[in-house]
Structure 1
């Protein structure tokens, strides 16, 4: 049996999948972040090795060397040639330690996500999860990116920005600068606060990070679903911000004006308001774009595994 490994390494979690030559998933495992800018390079590599050990463990052991034919990784925070070479060097050392040897392919989150959704490697990918990013890839493989500057310098239309704006909004509501919002009660109930003023002590804890702030986006999404105008405006404004980022991306190449746009990430998944506003803003500028649903049963790690299989087949 030929096996192919796909890895989707993110700033919050890392997922690995093993498929056979027919595309059947044999093993799946999720670990924590493998973004070097989030957990340091050494921390990222330790977690990556742990994830690989755990996704391989359910398979027959020991695994014959010839069984694993290829691995493909799409990892956030790993973009330059030097960064990719460093990851590959670490994987070579891992293979030597485990008595394995197979081709290693490094790509990015855009290509593996497009492969999972559309079964191909070109189009536009817009991500709105904890962070945000936009990628455009032409049929010839030319790659463009706008965004991805992180929560301090960018991340427009991300869970982090929506969460942060939600927190600021409930404080402004408390002080009478904005109308009352149901987000206040949702947050006090969820965090067992007696009063929303306890929010200050919580958010300024040294342990509170980017993902903790992004977690508050859910209360904005829920409130908007129930008709909260203040929450709706946050989502609409952030959808516009992300649309403007995407418009800048589309300006990089004429082919991107009439291609397919894949929208992925937790905010797109859970907020119809955000998704509808984003599409509205984008189509007002580029009416020839399309938004295919794509495959919902595959995620980026599956796309990476399918790409590992495809590239191995092409190379041989």
Structure 2
């Protein structure tokens, strides 16, 4: 039988096609978070990623027996209904829609206990203990939550750059931001950042990483704060789920962790200061592997 796992994220979509034991093909495309990018772009991203994966595996979408897709906000009926309808146009067989936390936890720990912290465009911490109880922290949306995420980092970088300008009369980080967003002045940045439809702050993450690597103190401080904020939501889940567990396991997932050593270092430091016995997995978890495994198992 042929199975399909999909990780539909706010920045990209990844797919794996496999049989009962092996990965046969993979594909990737643009974002498929329907709330962020709309139905048209979501359909295109899903279709492109599926076609790539099926092409690499030399199978037709009609041969797929079961699909599992992980999406942020999948618990909301309006999101899961759109995803199910779109996928029914593209693949055959059963389709299971679950949260991105579900596939990430499966990729990290299988059916076992542990805590995962996702830091991509958005962020969230999610865990399961030995009794099967689950708990989340964060991930309540860009406007009020998602601390340490790509969006949060971009917005924090703009805030810090403007503060630096106020204090010192100049800000090298601000110049990088203006160039990236193709703006001419501070005043144009103020208008763009405060628009009714706000800019995509997550697009600033690469420049924050580059500025940090170049020694920009403001950028470094933003990334250090992101690591501490991500540790904070992990601590909430650990303290509520693992009160009797001296060595809880924690895994990381998402592009922020993948691309920033500084974020990881401060995440480790802050988490271990609160839980000395915590076991932090070194490898960054690839959620799509969990989606494929759940597709293999079925409901």
TM-score after normalising by structure 2: 0.82
Contact 2:253–2:287 (CA under 8 A) maintained in structure 1: no
How far did 1:208 drift? 5.0
Aligned match of 1:28 = 27
**How many residue pairs were aligned?**
297
Number of the residue aligned with 2:153: 162
Q: CA RMSD in A?
A: 3.3
Q: With structure 1 as the length reference, what TM-score do the two structures score?
A: 0.78
CA contact (8 A) 1:84 1:106 kept: no
Displacement after TM superposition at 1:289 (Å): 0.9
Quick check: 1:162–1:217 contact (8 Å CA) kept in 2? Answer: yes
Post-superposition CA distance 1:140-181 (Å, at most 9, x none) = 432211111111011111121221121122222223x25754
Alignment of 1:64-103 (within 5 A): 67-79=63-75, 82=77, 86=81, 90=85, 93-94=88-89, 100=92, 102-103=93-94
Q: 2:162 aligns with which of 171, 178, 190?
A: 171
Which structure 1 residue ranges, 5 or more long, are not aligned?
none
Post-superposition offset of 1:206: 6.5
Residue 31 of structure 1 and its aligned partner are, at CA, apart by 3.6
Q: Tell me how far 1:280 sits from its aligned partner.
A: 1.0
Cα pair distance change 1:291/1:38, threshold 3 Å: same
Structure 2 counterpart of 1:304, from 287, 291, 295: 291
- Equivalents in 2 of 1:268, 1:45: separation in Å? 25
Instruction: Map 1:99-178 to 2 at 5 A.
Output: 100=92, 102-118=93-109, 122-175=113-166, 177=167
**Higher mean Cα deviation, 107-116 or 196-205?**
196-205
Q: Report the secondary structure of 2:282's partner residue.
A: coil
2:206 corresponds to 1:218: yes
CA–CA separation in structure 1 for the residues paired with 2:27 and 2:80? 25
The answer to whether the aligner puts 1:54 opposite 2:51 as a matched pair is yes
2:237 maps to 1:249: yes
User: Are 1:187 and 2:180 counterparts?
Assistant: no
Q: Is the CA contact (8 Å cut-off) linking 1:27 and 1:56 kept in structure 2? A: yes
What secondary structure, in the 3-state scheme, does the structure 2 residue paired with 1:292 have? strand
Q: Is the 8 A contact 1:18 1:305 kept in 2?
A: yes
Over 3 Å counting, the alpha-carbon distance change for 1:88 and 1:170 in structure 2 is closer
Deviation at 1:4, TM superposition (A): 0.8
1:122 touches 1:136 (CA, 8 Å); kept in 2? yes
| Structure 1 residue 245: Cα displacement | 1.9
Task: List per-residue Cα deviations over 1:115-150 (Å, max 9, x = no partner).
Answer: 334555541111122111110122443221111111
